[in-house]
């Protein structure tokens, strides 16, 4: 019995994936826009300022979801790259490659907003503590993935090399997540992802979670668009691509 269901195999065929990704991208884009409008309104206008940090805490409505997404996208990228390497599924490899620049953007955004948040709170834009350093390493892993992919001309070799790099880099994800518990750090500890009740007021928690979901749909919308472009480039000599572009020819 195959580990991967038949419906997933059918969906992962380049032609079927291209069509599905187009529809999914449009729907995810509209959902993301709707949630961004609600989340930004409640986060920047309707939610109260923090009793210690004042209005500076509003940065968290962008910083925290971006930080969560930097780790989430990396895990998706690594798993997709591994699936593409093991089962040679082109759609999975395309999805991994499309995720890398988006994940790098989320990581850079998390670092930039964290620096803006840290200046009034810590008196400095940057400290070499475990959380910030491991997040910076994550950015380098994304950049390394993209550089390695571009440096190798053969697609199969590039897919194997980037998948190995992504899987090795997975060790950094738990380090980022648990760094505030394992080492002394200036970074604030977990307030939402806790086993007990979150230590954040509901008026701040709801817009934060809305923004987190909005970021996920934004990622899905963009990764599907980028994966479609990746798939067209990979399959440019195939009949279905020629038919899509209105050209005549055969495989």
How confident is the prediction along the chain (251 residues), in pLDDT tens digits per residue?
Answer: 456 667 666 788 899 999 999 999 999 999 999 999 999 999 989 888 876 677 788 999 999 999 999 999 999 999 999 999 998 899 999 999 999 999 999 999 999 999 998 888 888 888 888 889 999 999 999 999 999 999 999 999 999 999 999 999 999 999 998 887 776 665 565 555 544 556 688 888 999 999 999 999 999 999 999 999 999 998 988 888 888 887 544 44
Q: What pLDDT, on a 0 to 100 scale, did the predictor assign at position 7? A: 67
Q: What is the CA radius of gyration of the chain?
A: 20
Tokens of 63: 């910083």
Q: What pLDDT, on a 0 to 100 scale, did the predictor assign at position 251? A: 42
Which residues are CB-contacts of 93 (< 8 A; sequence separation ≥ 6)? 80, 81, 84, 85, 159, 163
In a domain, residue 115? The reply is yes
In a domain, residue 250? The reply is no
In a domain, residue 119? The reply is yes
CA distance to 161, 162, 245, per residue, from 78 (Å): 12, 9, 32
Q: What is the pTM of this model?
A: 0.91
Q: What pLDDT, on a 0 to 100 scale, did the predictor assign at position 211? A: 97
Tokens of 106: 């989320």
Tokens of 212: 């987190």
DSSP state of 170: T
Residue 138 domain boundaries: 14-244
Q: What pLDDT, on a 0 to 100 scale, did the predictor assign at position 53? A: 74
In a domain, residue 208? The reply is yes
CA dist 101 and 97 (Å) reads 8
In a domain, residue 144? The reply is yes
Domain count, the chain: 1
Q: What pLDDT, on a 0 to 100 scale, did the predictor assign at position 185? A: 64
In a domain, residue 205? The reply is yes
Q: What pLDDT, on a 0 to 100 scale, did the predictor assign at position 85? A: 94
Give yes or no for a contact between 170 and 75, defined as CB atoms under 8 angstroms apart: yes
CA distance to 23, 47, 86, 137, 230, per residue, from 10 (Å): 16, 46, 17, 37, 18
Q: What pLDDT, on a 0 to 100 scale, did the predictor assign at position 62? A: 95
Query: Bridge partners of 206?
Result: none
Q: Which residue has the tokens 């969906």?
A: 11
In a domain, residue 196? The reply is yes
Inter-axis angle of helices 14-41 and 202-234, nearest 10: 150
* Residue in 166, 193, 165 with CA at minimum distance from that of residue 177: 193
In a domain, residue 218? The reply is yes
């Amino acid at each position: 019995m195959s580990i991967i269901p038949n419906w997933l195999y059918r969906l992962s065929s380049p032609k079927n994936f291209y069509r599905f990704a187009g529809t999914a991208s449009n729907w995810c884009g509209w959902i993301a826009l709707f949630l961004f409008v609600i989340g930004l309104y409640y986060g920047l206008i309707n939610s109260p300022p923090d009793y210690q940090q004042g209005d500076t805490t509003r940065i968290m409505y962008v910083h925290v979801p971006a930080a969560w997404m930097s780790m989430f996208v990396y895990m998706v990228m690594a798993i997709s790259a591994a699936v593409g390497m093991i089962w040679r599924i082109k759609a999975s490899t395309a999805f991994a490659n499309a995720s890398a620049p988006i994940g790098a953007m989320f990581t850079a955004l998390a670092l930039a907003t964290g620096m803006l948040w840290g200046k009034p709170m810590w008196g400095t834009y940057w400290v070499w503590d475990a959380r910030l350093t491991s997040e910076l390493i994550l950015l380098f892993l994304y950049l390394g993935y993209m550089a390695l992919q571009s440096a190798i001309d053969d697609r199969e070799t590039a897919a194997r090399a980037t998948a190995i790099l992504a899987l090795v880099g997975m060790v950094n994800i738990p380090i980022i997540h648990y760094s505030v518990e394992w080492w002394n750090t200036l970074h604030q500890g977990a307030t939402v992802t806790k086993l007990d009740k979150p230590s954040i007021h509901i008026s701040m928690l709801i817009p934060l979670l809305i923004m987190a979901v909005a970021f996920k749909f934004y990622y899905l919308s963009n990764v599907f668009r980028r994966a479609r472009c990746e798939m067209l480039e990979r399959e440019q000599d195939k009949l279905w691509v020629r038919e899509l572009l209105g050209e005549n020819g055969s495989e």
